[in-house]
């Protein structure tokens, strides 16, 4: 059943692409039909038939003013699309600097919604992220003791999220601590009222278990804006259901029937992907595009597509450029790191175009950047999110003209047999 109100229920803005998919996954698993839009939608982009729309931006590392500007534009589009509540999604490690972008974007979106209080909660128990007394833990360590301490762009050296956020927003930052959260939705909602009475607009919420996150969603039903990792959105579908806006959503993950030939494109050099390539070599025909050769022979992408046309009739094929670190370094040394990446990504983008033209209707792509290149080369603007293949990797359906099923796999995700299993799951 579609939602019982016209337009979408939830409008979310995510600060990066894989984070957006993560949030979509959470919402679909809890019964919301969800669309991920890639980049800022334009005024003429149609409103998808969905319960939730997640706009995937690339705003995490932009200057704060730019992140604020595009996030506000995305929210305003979502409001016009009918959204009743808004969510700002960032990483469960609270990736940000003292200048932003979580605080400035949260503040600006809160003002734009006309709301008087918003919540911040990066907890994600399945991945070991919890917030206790306002402090962010990864497993049993404070975030400041983990590798995030030395993150090249957003080093997290202060685990006290109240202080971190305090440096990013105007006005005081409040905390709803564990003992309140543990008492359930009513207690949490009452704490929001107390914070409001003290003039506090930005509130960190403790959460250790999934129950805490679900209770947070229920307590936040009256809030215009909530923010957090994908975990903080866990309770939102239930809150919409409780308010009578959403059905059981048993078919939320249903995609149109898959048609056409099957192929895999790999541009990730991560350990998991290299293993998946080795596995595929024993199962199905594979074609290796040598990145070094690509520099001298741009026709190699066309050769790969021509080869695939003769091989795809009885099952999936793999075209890959992925190589071991020493080989990658050699190419990077010759061409420069960015130029090598761009050369490879452009080639794989044109392979994807060629494959779709040749009748591919089910495509698996390995690699985050590679996925971005493929999606942009195919001109895809929105994905309907389906069921998971492996944790964190759903099948999606490119809405619009393409009639294409796509699985976009971040490099290190998926089991060894991912490239064959993905197509079996789709049947
Ligand atoms: P992951 O998700 O594993 O990080 P990405 O696709 O995000 O994978 O990143 C891999 C990068 O490596 C891409 O920019 C891709 O173009 C580049 N790349 C892949 N194979 C090679 C290669 N053989 N030589 C040089 N660069 C490569």
Question: How far does residue 337's CA lie from ligand 1's centre (Å)?
Answer: 10
Number of domains present in the structure of the chain: 2
Tell me how far apart the alpha carbons of residues 184 and 176 are, in angstroms, rounded to a whole number.
12
Q: What is the pLDDT, as a whole number, of residue 6? A: 64
Residue 412 CA, closest ligand 1 atom number: 3
- Would you say the CB of residue 367 lies under 6 angstroms from ligand 1? yes
Question: How far does residue 222's CA lie from ligand 1's centre (Å)?
Answer: 44
* Residue 2 falls inside a structural domain: no
Question: How far does residue 153's CA lie from ligand 1's centre (Å)?
Answer: 20
Q: Are residues 155 and 56 in the same domain?
A: yes
Q: Are residues 282 and 368 in the same domain?
A: yes
Q: Are residues 283 and 410 in the same domain?
A: yes
Task: Read off the pTM.
Answer: 0.91
Q: Are residues 231 and 329 in the same domain?
A: no
Q: Are residues 231 and 295 in the same domain?
A: no
Spatial CA neighbour of 378 closest among 403, 407, 349: 349
Q: Are residues 288 and 404 in the same domain?
A: yes
- Would you say the CB of residue 276 lies under 6 angstroms from ligand 1? no
Q: Are residues 265 and 199 in the same domain?
A: no
**Buried-exposed string 292-327: b where 16+ CB fall within 10 A, e elsewhere:** eebbeeeebbeebbeebbebbeeebbbbbbbbeeee
Q: Give a three-class secondary structure readout of 223-246.
A: CCEEEECHHHHCCHHHHHHHCCCC
Q: Are residues 113 and 166 in the same domain?
A: yes
Q: Which residues span the domain enclosing 418?
A: 261-426
Question: How far does residue 257's CA lie from ligand 1's centre (Å)?
Answer: 31
Q: Are residues 150 and 204 in the same domain?
A: yes
* Residue 249 falls inside a structural domain: no
Q: What is the pLDDT, as a whole number, of residue 26? A: 95
Residue 269 CA, closest ligand 1 atom number: 3
CATH code for the domain in which residue 370 is found: 3.40.980.20
* Residue 4 falls inside a structural domain: no
Q: What is the pLDDT, as a whole number, of residue 242? A: 96
Question: How far does residue 347's CA lie from ligand 1's centre (Å)?
Answer: 12
* Residue 282 falls inside a structural domain: yes
* Residue 252 falls inside a structural domain: no
Q: Are residues 292 and 344 in the same domain?
A: yes
CATH code for the domain in which residue 16 is found: 3.40.50.10840
Q: Are residues 226 and 309 in the same domain?
A: no
- Would you say the CB of residue 369 lies under 6 angstroms from ligand 1? yes
Tell me how far apart the alpha carbons of residues 153 and 99 are, in angstroms, rounded to a whole number.
12
- Would you say the CB of residue 394 lies under 6 angstroms from ligand 1? no
- Would you say the CB of residue 185 lies under 6 angstroms from ligand 1? no
- Would you say the CB of residue 341 lies under 6 angstroms from ligand 1? yes
Profile the chain (427 residues) by mean pLDDT over runs of 10 residues.
68 93 95 96 91 95 96 97 96 92 98 97 94 97 92 91 97 97 98 98 98 98 97 97 94 95 96 96 97 92 97 97 93 92 95 97 94 93 94 89 88 93 93
């Amino acid at each position: 059943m579609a939602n019982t109100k016209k337009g979408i229920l939830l409008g979310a803005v995510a600060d990066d692409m894989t984070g957006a998919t993560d949030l979509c996954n959470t919402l679909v698993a809890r019964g919301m039909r969800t669309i991920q839009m890639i980049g800022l939608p334009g005024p003429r982009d149609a409103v998808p038939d969905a319960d939730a729309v997640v706009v995937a931006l690339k705003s995490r590392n932009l200057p704060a003013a730019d992140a604020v500007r595009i996030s506000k534009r995305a929210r305003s589009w979502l409001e016009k699309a009918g959204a009743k509540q808004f969510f700002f999604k960032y990483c469960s490690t609270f990736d940000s600097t003292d200048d932003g972008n979580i605080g400035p974007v949260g503040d600006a979106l809160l003002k734009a919604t006309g709301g008087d209080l918003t919540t911040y909660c990066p907890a994600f128990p399945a991945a070991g992220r919890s917030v206790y007394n306002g402090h962010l833990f990864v497993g049993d360590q404070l975030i400041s003791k983990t590798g995030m301490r030395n993150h090249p762009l957003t080093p997290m050296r202060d685990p006290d999220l109240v202080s971190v956020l305090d440096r990013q927003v105007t006005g005081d930052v409040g905390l709803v601590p564990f003992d309140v959260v543990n008492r359930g939705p009513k207690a949490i909602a009452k704490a929001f009222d107390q914070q409001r009475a003290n003039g506090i607009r930005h509130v960190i919420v403790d959460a250790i278990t999934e129950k805490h996150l679900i209770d947070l969603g229920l307590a936040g039903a009256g809030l215009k804006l909530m923010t957090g990792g994908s975990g903080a959105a866990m309770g939102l579908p239930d809150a919409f259901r409780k308010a009578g806006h959403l059905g059981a959503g048993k078919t939320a993950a249903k995609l149109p029937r898959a048609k056409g030939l099957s192929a895999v494109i790999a541009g990730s050099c991560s350990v998991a992907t290299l293993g998946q390539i080795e596995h595929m070599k024993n199962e199905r025909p594979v074609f290796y595009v040598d990145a070094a050769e690509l520099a001298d022979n741009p026709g190699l992408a066309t050769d790969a597509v021509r080869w695939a046309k003769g091989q795809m009739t009885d099952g999936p094929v793999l075209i890959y450029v992925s190589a071991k670190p020493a080989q990658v370094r050699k190419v990077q040394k010759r061409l420069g790191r960015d130029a090598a990446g761009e050369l490879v990504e452009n080639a794989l983008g044109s392979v994807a175009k060629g494959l779709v033209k040749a009748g591919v209707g089910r495509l698996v792509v390995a690699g985050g950047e590679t996925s971005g290149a493929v999606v942009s080369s195919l001109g895809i603007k929105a994905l309907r999110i389906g069921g998971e293949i492996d944790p964190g990797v759903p099948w999606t359906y490119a809405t619009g003209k393409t009639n294409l099923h796509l699985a976009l796999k971040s490099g290190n995700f998926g089991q060894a047999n991912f490239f064959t299993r993905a197509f079996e799951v789709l049947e």
